[in-house]
Amino acid sequence: MSFPTLQNDTFLRACRRQATDYTPLWMMRQAGRYLPEYKATRAQAGSFMGLATNVDFATEVTLQPLERFPLDAAILFSDILTVPDAMGLGLHFVEGEGPRFERTAADEASIGTLQVPDLEKLRYVFDAVTSIRHALQGRVPLIGFSGSPWTLACYMVEGGSSSDYRKVKSLMYARPDLMHHLLAVNADAVAAYLNAQIDAGAQALMIFDSWGGVLADSHFRHFSLQYTARVLAQLQRVGPDGQDVPRIVFTKGGALWLQEMGALDCEVLGLDWTANLGKARALVGGGAGTPGKALQGNLDPNVLFAPPAVIEQEVQRVLDDFGTPHTDSSVVGSTHIFNLGHGISQFTPPEHVAVFVDAVHRLSRQVRHSN
């Protein structure tokens, strides 16, 4: 499979801890409801799943933010719950409530029958990856993604979103054996799913451990981190174009476990806004020529509701928190990928996003030229 030559590899170089001319930037949920053009395409598709399962629509909305903003990466438009949907749980979206499953995996009978799904049921995702990769024409790299085994388990047991995680935690404490079985199936399914995305053309991968931070300290290691590691151990390292495929792990609320996450077999750790980038860099960033993780994050998404001058101040603060960037092209070193600390809000004014993107690129260049 051949794809257009990549023109802007700044994001991938930062993932590899190589020096860059500026700090690359992309946003979680960058293709989404804050854009009027997304809403128009979504209305045309008729439903969220109608959008996600249609290759042309998924390609269109993935590229929409890149038409507006000079972002340094695209991320596949899809949903983390496609995997449990393919396991037979029946995913649908309720207006104003979010994702819901028709069936749950919450007891011995339902969990015992779970299997890694037939990947042909997810063919629409892989076809979208290939379509998007071609449509990008090498402009920027394409990121594929999945939910973490624990995060998927939360939705599968609860039947949808939860405010207290009562059902999934009750199962975890009462029947840890069942929870470990569920997580093992999820991990193997996620690994197969991500490998198929690599085969289809994804140039980097991200694992969203969106609910890892709700776990108690000891249980995070046993029920989240262990199974994220199981996914990473199974991932292909090289894509169809012969290039390595960097792996990003993002745990919302995960700053408490940065040291433990530093041992994961991945290239990048994503941080939410509760983490301090400077402290994270000292802990897991590594020095020039030494092993470490690239860091991704971590502006509070609500900053984008502030006036433009405040957005610039907060961008500068995040850059200052990270510190002087690695600039020696002869060795690897500590690098930063700018992102929000979680997904962009649907209410964000697009003109504020333009201010944000410009500020990151402009101010990060100034930091390098002043040192």
- Binding site for substrate: which residues? 29-33, 79, 155, 210, 342
Q: Which of the following is catalytic: 42, 133, 247, 281?
A: 42
Q: Is 155 in the active site?
A: yes
Q: Is 33 in the active site?
A: yes
- Binding site: which residues? 29-33, 79, 155, 210, 342
Beta-bridge partner residues of 146: 207
Choose among 336, 368, 355, 365: nearest CA to 70: 355
Q: Which of the following is catalytic: 29, 133, 247, 281?
A: 29
Q: Going by C-beta distance under 8 Å and a sequence separation of 6 or more, which residues neighbour residue 24?
A: 10, 11, 14, 72, 73, 337, 338
Q: Which of the following is catalytic: 22, 34, 38, 155?
A: 155
Q: Is 103 in the active site?
A: no
**Beta pairing, strands 268-270 & 294-299:** parallel
Q: Going by C-beta distance under 8 Å and a sequence separation of 6 or more, which residues neighbour residue 218?
A: none
Q: Which of the following is catalytic: 16, 21, 68, 79?
A: 79
CB 94 within 8 A of CB 38: no
184 CB-contact burial (10 Å; exposed 0-12 / middle 13-18 / buried 19+): middle
Q: Which of the following is catalytic: 33, 123, 221, 368?
A: 33
* Residues known to be catalytic: 29, 33, 42, 79, 155
